[in-house]
Amino acid sequence: MCGIAGIIGVGSSRKTLGEMLKSIEHRGPDHSGMWLDHNIALGHNRLAIIDLSVQANQPFIDNRYILVFNGEIYNYLELKKELEEYIFNTNSDTEVLLAAYKKWGKDCLHKLNGMFSFAIWDKTEQKLFAARDRFGVKPFHYHLALNTFYFSSEIKSIHKAGINKRPNEKVWSSYLTYGSYGMPNETFWDDIEQLPGGHFLEYSKDKLIKKRWYVFEERIKKHSKKLSFDKVKETYKNLLRDSIKLRFRSDVSVGFNISGGLDSSTLLALVNQDVEKEGIKAYTFYTNDERYNELPWVEQMIAITNNPLVKVLIEPNNSLRKYITDIAFIQDEPFGGIPTIAYSSIFKQAKKDNTLVLLDGQGMDEQWAGYDYYYQKNNNTIQGISKAPFRPNVLSDAFLKLAEKPVYPKPFEDEVLNKQYRDLFYTKIPRALRFNDRISMAYSTELREPFLDYRLVEFAFAQPLEHKISNGIQKILLRELVSEYLSDSITYAPKRPLQTPQREWLGNELRDLVTKSIEELKNSTFQKWFNFEELDKEWKNYLDGDNDSSFHIWQWVNLALIN
């Protein structure tokens, strides 16, 4: 896990690349390296996870090719066996990735099981090839100027290269109006785009070509044969066990995150069944608020497996206020509020414990249709809401006109599948992966998501609805699977959104933070975006008890912090 940066064209220089790398040094504190040639500069900050030797440092050079790579290729040992003719000088997945590219070219992408964002410079053809993993776990941002192409793992790094920091007003307006975080190619900043997950690009002679390499709709067709419930359960369990084993490949310590939900329960159960490592630490956060207390569920599960449990307390004090500001800087774009802040505290603690790799349960709801709105006739993307969590009435007329209600592809005849597809590639998963990449890398730790192994997602997604819900019980197959290891009180507990007392804190203990943020907006470059008379009314209404949702309040705070 690392940070990458590069400049191709007349703007390249050691000084500029050095500034870019310094701004993302948190992503890789173990080594920082550069490779420069005429009109090209490639850089890398390394977090050493596999093969800790200096020989595995990057940029990785092999005669014709120079590679900078962020992520992990989990099946690198299996690929190494297919590349017997290549003489390896390291035990790293980095060298396996480059060898795979040398043998198979861009087709190597289909052989990779991992999370990755990488760029390869071809000295012979004077061409850059860059690619991003199937679901976009690892980021790739870029700016294309007249004669220069810049790229990096984080937006702040590109701004450090001298690209003006101007808000993309259409994306911001759509976020404040509809809660949209942008399309897969967009960011919240003008002239900075992201390469969508499952895409590659080639840049040569001032020309940029982008292409989708992972076509999910085609991939799931291979699962068209209908299987019995028991056969599906057996197949999925075997795939999941293999996914977890692959993600425990590491030369540093590995732990996992846990909440009180079914997905975490499944991860906990199978880790302890299959991984031959003693004392694997489990991490969770808590707030000491009984209304949102997951600890009883977590401790009930841990009592079965006896993993060491590290509990991280989050409280609404001055330290939290500073912490919110720090994470806003790290994120570069709007993020998920106090739950993201609380989740980030786990990585902070793990780093102190020298647990450098953590696994979590992201991605299960989207493949097994676990959200309530999948079975409702609406276009919601948030579970359990009764009214819109946005307040477009606080926006000025001119700014509101810029908003564009997102319209997502519907490649399937089944509406539930279309909602799952939307969440996988346009809404929930891209959003969560961005939040989580930033907070894990902020503390030089690596996050791995075994449930987002593409084999699992494709197989589960393709299953008929009766394998996903039965007699009103969602994720029925997963519940049946994990019931082999855990009690029914855990396995069949209703889904509970992972929550914090954000609504209460923003109106009480963190009220001063909100008030200060609103005042800052009134005196900021964003002031023309708002009708502050309406905004002040909404804030008063919130304090007076209209607080079923706090998302609109958090949006204002988030904007003020990013300014």
CATH of the domain at 204: 3.60.20.10
Q: Would you say residue 311 lies in a domain?
A: yes
The answer to whether residues 469 and 324 belong to one domain is yes
Mean pLDDT of the chain: 93
Residue 382: band (very low, low, confident or very high) from pLDDT cuts 50, 70, 90: low
Residue 473's pLDDT is what? Answer: 85
Residue 383's pLDDT is what? Answer: 57
The answer to whether residues 88 and 40 belong to one domain is yes
Residue from 166, 150, 148, 167 nearest 158 by CA: 150
The answer to whether residues 124 and 147 belong to one domain is yes
The answer to whether residues 449 and 529 belong to one domain is no
Q: Contact at 8 Å (CB) between 81 and 100?
A: no
Q: Would you say residue 165 lies in a domain?
A: yes
Residue 269's pLDDT is what? Answer: 85
**Whether residue 563 has pLDDT greater than 90:** no
Q: Would you say residue 35 lies in a domain?
A: yes
The answer to whether residues 198 and 252 belong to one domain is no
Residue 334's pLDDT is what? Answer: 97
Edge-first strand order for the sheet with 357-359 is 309-313, 282-286, 254-257, 357-359, 446-448
Residue 492: band (very low, low, confident or very high) from pLDDT cuts 50, 70, 90: low
The answer to whether residues 250 and 152 belong to one domain is no
Residue from 241, 462, 294 nearest 367 by CA: 462
Q: Would you put residue 449 in left (φ > 0), alpha (ψ -120 to 50) or beta? A: beta
The answer to whether residues 157 and 12 belong to one domain is yes
Q: Is 2 a catalytic residue?
A: yes
Residue 504's pLDDT is what? Answer: 95
The overall pTM is greater than 0.85: yes
Which of 2, 119, 424, 476 is catalytic? The answer is 2
**Whether residue 529 has pLDDT greater than 90:** yes
Residue 496: band (very low, low, confident or very high) from pLDDT cuts 50, 70, 90: low
The residue among 182, 214, 246 that closes a domain is 214
Q: What is the 3-state secondary structure (H, E, C) of 167-187?
A: ECHHHHHHHHHHCCCCCCCCC
More confident residue, 148 or 562: 148
Q: Would you say residue 456 lies in a domain?
A: yes
Q: Would you say residue 118 lies in a domain?
A: yes
Q: Would you say residue 401 lies in a domain?
A: no
Q: How far apart are CA 296 and CA 283, in angstroms?
A: 14
Q: Would you say residue 168 lies in a domain?
A: yes
Q: What are phi and psi of 67, to 5 degrees?
A: -115, 135
Pairing status of strand 207-212 against strand 199-204: antiparallel
Total domain count, the chain = 3
Q: CB-side exposure of 139: number of CA atoms within 13 Å?
A: 34
**Averaged over 412-421, what is the pLDDT?**
95
Q: Contact at 8 Å (CB) between 94 and 56?
A: yes
**Scanning the structure block, which residue is given the tokens 């949209």?**
180
Least confident of 189-203, 213-227, 382-396, 500-514: 382-396
Residue 277: band (very low, low, confident or very high) from pLDDT cuts 50, 70, 90: low
Least confident of 256-270, 402-416, 420-434: 256-270
Residue 562: band (very low, low, confident or very high) from pLDDT cuts 50, 70, 90: confident
CB atoms within 10 A of CB 315: 11
Q: Would you say residue 243 lies in a domain?
A: yes
The answer to whether residues 90 and 40 belong to one domain is yes
Name the token pair of 549: 């949702």
Rg (alpha carbons) of the chain, rounded to whole number: 23
Q: How far apart are CA 517 and CA 511, in angstroms?
A: 10
Reported in sequence order, the residue ranges of 184-300 that DSSP labels E, i.e. its strands, are 193-194, 199-204, 207-212, 254-257, 282-286
Q: Contact at 8 Å (CB) between 166 and 143?
A: no
The answer to whether residues 367 and 298 belong to one domain is yes
The answer to whether residues 34 and 150 belong to one domain is yes
Q: For 136-176, write each residue's pLDDT tens digit.
A: 999 999 999 989 999 999 999 999 999 999 999 999 999 99
Domain boundaries, position 302: 227-372+435-491
**Whether residue 305 has pLDDT greater than 90:** no
Residue 498's pLDDT is what? Answer: 56
CATH number of the domain that 275 lies in? 3.40.50.620
Residue 385's pLDDT is what? Answer: 58
The answer to whether residues 173 and 79 belong to one domain is yes
The answer to whether residues 187 and 242 belong to one domain is no
3-state secondary structure of 388: coil
**Whether residue 35 has pLDDT greater than 60:** yes
Q: How far apart are CA 166 and CA 59, in angstroms?
A: 31
